[in-house]
Amino acid sequence: MPPQADRPRLHQLCEELLSHRNLIIASNRGPIDYRLNEAGKLQGRRGSGGVVTALSAISQYMDITWVASAMGEGDRRAAEMAQWRRFKAPIPGHNLYIRFVVSSGSTYYKYYSVFCNPLLWFLQHCMWNSSHTPNIDARVRDAWENGYKFVNRAIAEAVINEASESELPPLLMLHDYHLYLAAGYIREQIPNAIIQHFTHIPWPGPHYWQLLTRDMCQAICGGLCASDIVGLQTERDVHNFLHTCEVFVEGAEVDYKGRTILINDHHVKVKAYPISVDVANLRKQVRSPLLKEYEDKIRPFFGEKTIVRVDRLEPSKNIVRGFRSFDILLERYPDLQGKVNFLAFLVPSRTRIKQYRRYAEEVNDSIEAINTKYGNDNWQPIKAFYENNYTQALAALRLYDVLLVNPVVDGMNLVAKEGPTVNTCDGVLVLSEAAGACEQLRENALPVTPCDLEGTMEAIYRALSMSPEERSQRAAALKKSVEEEDITLWLYRQLSDVNALALERLR
């Protein structure tokens, strides 16, 4: 179903909802990130991710209130200036309101830097070394009680407060692993709310969740089951979620075929909505003069052939193993030395968390070792750009011969969809089988097992030596596949299901 055809329908759907509903979105990170500049003035920067683009796009047709955590000093100042109420986002033509929830520094630290990221993120990306980690000690229990539960309750209260205006049951869309408990708290206060929760990251099976305490698993699954619709990225995640609830939610009747869970007369629908990119918006962005400037800036770093990767600097992205495979490639095929360059665009992320700092060091060490081993005055095999510069990354995605996306495991991975959409060189996608995107793109990418260094090296070699005809045919097929299922469809599917439920409730 082409996204172009969906656009008018999405518009119509929003208008249908708009005539009588209030749409409230909640996520940890808000759609605009506020910073204080050197002069102490507040500056808002719009989030660049597909979710922000897609959801703020529908605020052209309907009022949307977005409840989010104040993540830094800038967000806190913006919240204070709005007297802790919602305020209109400075996006012309959009009715998007933001309400920041402010928690104390220590509460937020427990929530974000002890529970959400080192624990839940690591669990759901299967990144633990279970003979040593995790260790659920008093510090983690405290973070659960006084960080995770606390922030979830605070976000839920803000949502409840925003929803109190609407006469009809409000429509609520909650996002990700930061907010697993919010639906439960909201349901207690607004029994007839229509709640959808979407998890962006992978959902492992119950044997992995068992590494967490039973009360935590019960609360997480129970909290999610207070929603009407639980959305996940892939069919594999849906199956794992159903199985996890069967194990941890007392009295849950799980219907694997119908993908529903029944608990005390409450039906939960569990469904895969694979997220995608905003193709139209990406095409607009790549035409910008700024992007052309970046293309000129980075072009000198390209070789005869160039491998590119774009990632948050994040352990699950498997950056070091990617470099190891490149190392093996240069060793095995010495004639490639001096000809093939590897450019890594790495966005610093979660730098307050020690596992992330340690991983950033490993990445840096690995680059230095490879550059020392093969580099000379005229050629350095790897060049890394450590910055949050989306336009520059897009410029690189225009020009790659090979795009390496090899996460250990990933909910979807939007780089795997952005790359083929904007690339102009018939570049080849080497893609981890453990990325959600592989469910859709496998046929025309070169799939690899993320821990298989030899296999990844061979896939890169195959990509570098592929005939122009095969490259072109694969690149065109990837582009078409992403175009046909872009973010408009992701949103349309979810809003249709939410709308259908709202109409059903009126009957």
Could you tell me which of 374, 438, 379, 396 has the C-alpha nearest to residue 307?
396
Q: How many residues does the chain have?
A: 507
Q: Which residues bind ligand G6P (CB under 6 A)?
A: 29, 176, 200-201, 349-350
Taking the complex as a whole, the smallest distance from the CB of residue 431 to ligand G6P amounts, in Å, to 17
User: Max CA-CA distance within the chain?
Assistant: 74
Shortest Å, Cβ 505 to ligand G6P = 29
Using CA atoms, how far apart are residues 359 and 357, in angstroms rounded to an integer? 5
**Shortest Cβ distance from residue 352 to ligand G6P (Å)?**
10
Beta carbon of residue 496, minimum distance to ligand G6P (angstroms, whole number) = 23
Cβ closer to ligand G6P: 200 or 243? Answer: 200
Cα 129 to Cα 41, 119, 122, 211: the distances in Å are 45, 12, 10, 11
Q: Which residues of 337-366 are buried (b: 16+ CB within 10 A; e: fewer)?
A: bbebbbbbbbbebbeebebbeebbeebeeb
Which residues are bridge partners to 260 per DSSP?
A: 255, 269
Q: How far is the CB of 420 from ligand G6P (least distance, A)?
A: 19
The Cα–Cα gap between 277 and 485 comes to 9
Sheet-wide strand order for 23-27 = 87-88, 96-101, 64-69, 23-27, 171-175, 194-198, 229-232, 266-272, 260-263, 253-255
State the Cα–Cα distance between residues 243 and 254, nearest whole angstrom.
8
Q: Which residues contact 42 (CB under 8 A, 6 or more apart)?
A: 34, 35, 36, 74, 77, 78, 81
Q: Which is nearer to ligand G6P, 240 or 444 (CB)?
A: 240
Least gap, CB of 202 to ligand G6P (angstroms): 10
Q: Which residue has the tokens 């967490």?
A: 212
Q: Is residue 423 classed as helix, strand or coil in its secondary structure?
A: coil
CB of 201 to ligand G6P, least distance (A): 5
DSSP class of 145: I
Quote the least distance from Cβ 158 to ligand G6P, whole Å. 18
> CA-to-CA distance for 156 and 192, rounded, in angstroms?
15
